[in-house]
Structure 1
Amino acid sequence: MSDTALRTPETAQLPRFAWREVSIVLAVQVAVLSALSGRYGFHRDELYFIAAGKQLAWGYTDQPPITPALARLSITLFGETPVGLRVVATLAAAGTIAVIALIARELGGGRTVQWVSAALASLGPFAVAVAHMLSTTTVDMLIWALLGLAVLRLLRTGDGRWWLAVGAVIGLGLANKWLILLLVSGLATGVFAFGPRGVLRSVWLAAGVAVALVLAAPVFLWQAANDWPMLTVASGISGDDGVENRILFIPMQLVYLTPVLVPVWAAGLVRLWRDPGLRWARALAVSYPVVCVELLALGGKPYYSVPLLIMLLPAGVRPALDWLSRGRKASRRGVVTVFGVIGLAMSLVTGLPLLPPSSLNGPVLAINKEPGEQVGWPELTDSVAGVWLQIPAEQRAKSVILTSNYGQAGAIEHYGPAIGLPKPYSGHMSYADWGPPPDTMTGAVIVVGGQPTLSPSLTGCRVVTKNDNGIGLENEEQGTAITLCSGTTAPWSKIWPSLRRFY
């Protein structure tokens, strides 16, 4: 079957894109995110991305290179501040919402459906929280949306040249986060099972595969040369959190986009399956249950499937709007408005830095712990500096600061030079690859956190103080012990492997 033969009159023409309405949605989103990007401070992962961006490589222990490279680009152009770093996060979030509007158009949605889809996709708690800060997920949401759009365009038109775009997006996705393979498997299952299978016979398919392999090759070669550390990290996460992830998986699917939007994405799932005019798009409907089953089997985190939920929203907006226009319209719209306002308030309060940091304890951190991880890093660095000054001045040149995790190391690396602290070291994730202290560093050792103190190679250790963020915020670093050790029993090059941690 030729590519042209796959086209149908019903799908040949699309509504005009709602440039004005969608642009207004994007402008509001960008304005809000930009206005709040300087509130609180860096997230622990952002501090790690900054450090990784200064050590550019084709791969890292726990991630491919795109997000660290974007962090490097953003702070180079806009400054090493939360505002400067988050410019790229804001742009990625806006790009995701624009693509969601294009998906709505691809599914036949008119102007109203397009801008409503964009607005709803930007307002869920998870989407708001991820848009506020730079993370691999921030970038991944854009990449998943782009892949969904490219595949839908391929399936709708039958134009095999879209395989090149599909391959390019998959290749870029593999250079950011390997979770893109979940979406690939879900969409592939849908196409194989329910069609249109004609696209699989296109001569362009091989070219698309080649594009994906070329783009992803440096990442896989780096991982292979370094014994596939990302697989070790993934195995550790599944082993540590797999049971909890499986228990929470279904409940969290109902929460991430707010319960208010569950009927919308559920209607989208049903519509993609039952609407004869969208039969060609069934693969998108099939991909969600396939990805969910895979995540349950692997013990993956529940939020890994959220980008798919967001892609289902555009399919459900038209049925939702039709429902609102039937029957008791006033009462239906009133109920939706009340619950919508409640859901929006929850999204903004839990996802954006609106509250004073001292008010985060309680429901906010119970729903979303990430705001707490953006508070207290300067105070932690000051606590370490206080212990550093207890080391005799003549010993400091040979003394070491050793941290338990990359967040602590990233904070000291960022804030420490201004108050006289040296470069920190850590055995956590890629910090372990960036090297142990030189063997000539035979002075005292400040240990931040508890894990390294378990090493018998550190001697004369005593807890000097515990970190206090000053506002009683119960985040991960509140109460972190800061220990002073007299030295080591062996050169750093010998003990370093025992300090390495993959999760």
Structure 2
Amino acid sequence: MRVPRGALLTAGVLGLVLVLVGNRYGYHRDELYFIEAGHHPAPGQPDQPMLVPLLAAAWHAITGGHLWAFRILPAVAAALTALVAALTCRVLGGTTRHQTAAAILTAVTSIVPGTGHLFSTTAFDLLGTATTVWLLLRALQHPSVARWLLVGVAAGITSEVKVLVLTVLACCAVGLVVAGPRRPLLTAGPWLAATVTALLAAPFLIWQARHGWPMREITANIAAGGSTSSADRAAVVPLSFLMVGPLLSIPFVAGLIHLWRRPQLRWLTIAYAVFLAFVVVTGGKAYYPAGFFPAALAAGTMPTLDWLDARHRTRLAAAVLAISSIPTAAFSLPLAPPGSPVFEMATAVNPDTAETVGWPAYVETIREVSRALPDRDNAIVLTRNYGEAGMISLARRESDADRELLPPAYSVHNGYGEWGPPPADSTTVMLIGTFGRIYPDPLTTELQTMFDRCDLVARLETPDGVDNDEDGAPVHVCRGLVQPWDEAWPGMRRLG
């Protein structure tokens, strides 16, 4: 399948830029968590399937712990997403110019480079969902068993990144039932695709069912604002347009209108609208609809580019797009110095950026506390979120000196809570408390009553005056365990 050279060049430039900035700032909390989670193989964990954690742990080992190399895979995922937009444009009837334009528009959205910078589930989910939509369009246009099988494989693999793709497919089914074409739904192809998807998604779904569906509690926590990237329901639609980009929202909306005006493609506009309503009603994150963005932009390039050609304004539009890409890059990529005014504006739009700053300083604080412990051999680190535990776990994995100096890390948060409590003889605890949107200050009653004594010995401080969820988190040293770990652990665990 040939791809226009312009689209290939666009994808290559995007991937190269992401690799070049891959070493900026530092790890994100989720990246630290994924690396450790991959060392605890299971069919699933409370907050997500296991494909990305397993990939993160393996790739981190292969790349030798170099951050820029670790982030090559999400950069490749972002580049491939731009190519998928071009391929989607071809299925929709776009010319070579339209396909190249679709790749360019997708590459300069806020969401694609922003997620492609981090080893996150979102980067791979965006690629997988966009690919599933493209393959679905192909299967509906020229049905065959092989094409429907590819839809099922793509959706099934993506479901092991995030189960959100299953909701996307359900919304596509609604669109097809409402607007057609309905005839393909009566053939064996879609049911084959659904069967393959279900088989590939089954390990995680069965794990969730056997553990009481913990993702329901996590979803409720997100809707209540418990995540850094949570958004008010009223802000979901405006923020989703912001993730496309203010200027790019024009071809994006034009694409949805273009799809609506074509009876055989109207179902895709309906599917997007239904999914967007689902996210608003359930209190999901504003970037959840991003899997539809490449298809909508691919559709929008055709009327937009044709309109510009008719008025001889293509070069002007290209210049405006290039200029508008500068603030987009500044806000979505780690370019500005931490603590600078541009950095502050960027983190106001994308708070996750601030969560990549400060981890080496946090580890050094824990080293200093650990050096002062006379009973370090029986000590552990207990944290209130998985990022803090992940930073200790990674430091111990990467350095023999830290393996000797830093106590092993445990956490009550999500997957860490699933992996079990500390050993029974761990009666000295370096307790790292997290504040802000996730857990309250002071320590919760459960932890206050677990020890005879807790002394505040330090606080995590983020360099350069960066304000994030770790800044100011207290470090206590607690002794005198009141209740055995295996009895206390179930009540201490937190999902969110």
TM-score of Structure 1 vs Structure 2, range by shorter chain: over 0.9
Structure 2: how far apart are the matches of 1:345 and 1:476?
28
**Which is further off, 170-179 or 133-142?**
170-179
Structure 2: how far apart are the matches of 1:132 and 1:66?
18
3-state DSSP of counterpart to 1:490: coil
1:263 corresponds, among 250, 255, 261, to 250
3-state DSSP of counterpart to 1:446: strand
2:135 corresponds, among 138, 146, 150, to 150
Structure 1: how far apart are the matches of 2:434 and 2:188?
56
After TM superposition, give the deviation of residue 500 of structure 1 in Å: 0.5
Structure 1: how far apart are the matches of 2:299 and 2:427?
63
Deviations 1:251-278 (A, max 9, x none): 1122111110111011111111114xxx
After TM superposition, give the deviation of residue 85 of structure 1 in Å: 1.9
3-state DSSP of counterpart to 1:461: strand
Name the counterpart of 1:463. Answer: 456
**Which is further off, 195-204 or 447-456?**
447-456
TM-score normalised per structure 2: 0.92
Name the counterpart of 2:289. Answer: 305
Letter in 2 for 1:344: S
Name the counterpart of 1:386. Answer: 368
**Which is further off, 82-91 or 411-420?**
411-420
Distance 1:248 1:282, change over 3 A: same
Aligned residues: 480
1:92 corresponds, among 57, 74, 77, to 77
Name the counterpart of 1:398. Answer: 378
Letter in 1 for 2:130: A
Letter in 1 for 2:178: A
Residue pair 1:147, 1:166 contacting (<8 A) in 2 also: yes
3-state DSSP of counterpart to 1:325: helix
Name the counterpart of 2:221. Answer: 236
Letter in 1 for 2:205: F
3-state DSSP of counterpart to 1:224: helix
Name the counterpart of 1:364. Answer: 346
3-state DSSP of counterpart to 2:463: coil
Name the counterpart of 1:475. Answer: 468
Structure 1: how far apart are the matches of 2:327 and 2:352?
15
After TM superposition, give the deviation of residue 29 of structure 1 in Å: 1.2
Structure 2: how far apart are the matches of 1:103 and 1:186?
19
Name the counterpart of 1:485. Answer: 478
Name the counterpart of 2:5. Answer: 20
Letter in 1 for 2:359: W
Name the counterpart of 2:237. Answer: 250
Structure 2: how far apart are the matches of 1:269 and 1:107?
12
Letter in 2 for 1:60: Q
3-state DSSP of counterpart to 1:425: strand
Structure 1: how far apart are the matches of 2:131 and 2:343?
37
Name the counterpart of 1:12. Answer: none
After TM superposition, give the deviation of residue 444 of structure 1 in Å: 4.2
After TM superposition, give the deviation of residue 241 of structure 1 in Å: 5.8
Structure 1: how far apart are the matches of 2:170 and 2:98?
28
Distance 1:378 1:241, change over 3 A: closer
CA RMSD of aligned residues (A): 2.0
3-state DSSP of counterpart to 1:256: helix
Return 5+ residue gaps in structure 2 as ranges. none
Name the counterpart of 1:321. Answer: 305
Deviations 1:104-129 (A, max 9, x none): 11011111111110011011112111
Residue pair 2:380, 2:409 contacting (<8 A) in 1 also: yes
Name the counterpart of 2:270. Answer: 286
Structure 1: how far apart are the matches of 2:216 and 2:296?
30
Name the counterpart of 1:4. Answer: none
After TM superposition, give the deviation of residue 446 of structure 1 in Å: 3.3
Deviations 1:270-304 (A, max 9, x none): 111114xxx32222121110101111111111110
Structure 2: how far apart are the matches of 1:112 and 1:480?
52
Distance 1:31 1:176, change over 3 A: same
Residue pair 2:430, 2:475 contacting (<8 A) in 1 also: no
Mapping for residues 168-179 of structure 1, pairs under 5 Å: 168-179=153-164
**Which is further off, 264-273 or 460-469?**
460-469
Residue pair 1:171, 1:212 contacting (<8 A) in 2 also: yes
Residue pair 1:427, 1:499 contacting (<8 A) in 2 also: yes
Distance 1:56 1:85, change over 3 A: farther
After TM superposition, give the deviation of residue 151 of structure 1 in Å: 0.8
After TM superposition, give the deviation of residue 475 of structure 1 in Å: 1.7
Deviations 1:139-194 (A, max 9, x none): 10111111111110111113354221222222112211111122112210111111
Deviations 1:192-251 (A, max 9, x none): 111111111112333222211221121122112222212221122223469943121121
Letter in 2 for 1:411: M
3-state DSSP of counterpart to 1:104: helix
Structure 1: how far apart are the matches of 2:264 and 2:161?
29
Residue pair 2:84, 2:294 contacting (<8 A) in 1 also: no
Name the counterpart of 1:180. Answer: 165
Distance 1:449 1:161, change over 3 A: closer
Name the counterpart of 2:389. Answer: 409
2:190 corresponds, among 205, 217, 228, to 205
Residue pair 1:387, 1:446 contacting (<8 A) in 2 also: no
Residue pair 1:378, 1:415 contacting (<8 A) in 2 also: no
Deviations 1:370-423 (A, max 9, x none): 22111110101111121122221xx11111211110111111111245432021
3-state DSSP of counterpart to 2:46: coil
Structure 2: how far apart are the matches of 1:444 and 1:221?
35
Return 5+ residue gaps in structure 1 as ranges. 1-15
Residue pair 1:445, 1:487 contacting (<8 A) in 2 also: no
Deviations 1:421-451 (A, max 9, x none): 0211100010001111111112344334365
3-state DSSP of counterpart to 1:460: strand
Name the counterpart of 1:453. Answer: 443
Distance 1:205 1:306, change over 3 A: closer
Residue pair 1:34, 1:87 contacting (<8 A) in 2 also: yes
Structure 2: how far apart are the matches of 1:174 and 1:157?
25
Structure 1: how far apart are the matches of 2:195 and 2:234?
39
Q: Aligned pair 1:63/2:48, yes or no?
A: yes
3-state DSSP of counterpart to 2:494: coil
**Which is further off, 51-60 or 201-210?**
201-210
Letter in 2 for 1:464: V
Structure 2: how far apart are the matches of 1:400 and 1:76?
25
**Which is further off, 465-474 or 143-152?**
465-474
